Amino acid sequence: MDLFNTNSIQNIVPFDGEVLDYGFLFNSKECQFYLTQFLNADFWTHDELLMFGKQIKTSRKVAWFGNLDYKYSYSSSVKKAIPWTPELISIKKLVESKTGEVFNSCLLNLYHNGNEGMGWHQDNEKELGKNPVIASLSFGAARKFSFKHIQTKQKVDIVLEPGSLLLMKGETQENWLHSLPKTSKVKFPRVNLTFRNIYT
């Protein structure tokens, strides 16, 4: 079976954007290897966000990597990129090969279980430029990932399995919100990598 057959790549949103489901890039053994590497890494920090006028520290952990020490700002929090690890470079090259895109940075999120998630938001920060291209790759627990059109409120859900790759591009960030809903059913950790480009 050809996991990277371009004829099988589908756009999962019906209009006003491109969210391309590439299926699996890694088998279960490879997924477990990378998950173990990331869970044991020492680069994680708790995310800090501004909510209701207060600075809070999240249970979810993050790490921000880049070709240079790019700064990335969201929710009144500023991240400074650290150098790529060998594992991330290897994954980045494969993602670029399969999507035909080139990325200069990557945000990692560590969700310890289903009690940690992300509310509705857009990745539309000015550093990402107009119509950003973002590749999302997951290891660990399978989680539902949701989209909601800003105007029509139409929703689209997809389950992101370990080793699966999703590419958001075109006008997706302008027209669609996305979220990682919380769920008590998920007891295991998930590491999500979102490759992107910072324009300075």
130 falls within a domain: yes
Helix (H, G, I), strand (E, B) or coil at 83: coil
pLDDT at 79: 81
172 falls within a domain: yes
Q: How many domains does the chain have?
A: 1
CATH number of the domain to which 61 belongs: 2.60.120.590
For the record, the structure tokens of 114 come out as 């289903």
62 falls within a domain: yes
Neighbours of 57 (CB within 10 A): 10
CA dist 71 → 55, 82, 110 (Å): 19, 10, 20
171 pairs with which residues across the strands? none
In this structure, what DSSP letter does residue 187 have? -
1 falls within a domain: no
25 falls within a domain: yes
164 falls within a domain: yes
Q: Assign 4 a pLDDT band (cuts: 50, 70, 90).
A: very low
Cα distance from N-terminal residue to C-terminal residue, the chain:
41
175 falls within a domain: yes
pLDDT in tens, 158-173: 999 999 999 999 999 9
Domain span at residue 145 reads 6-196
Q: Assign 56 a pLDDT band (cuts: 50, 70, 90).
A: confident
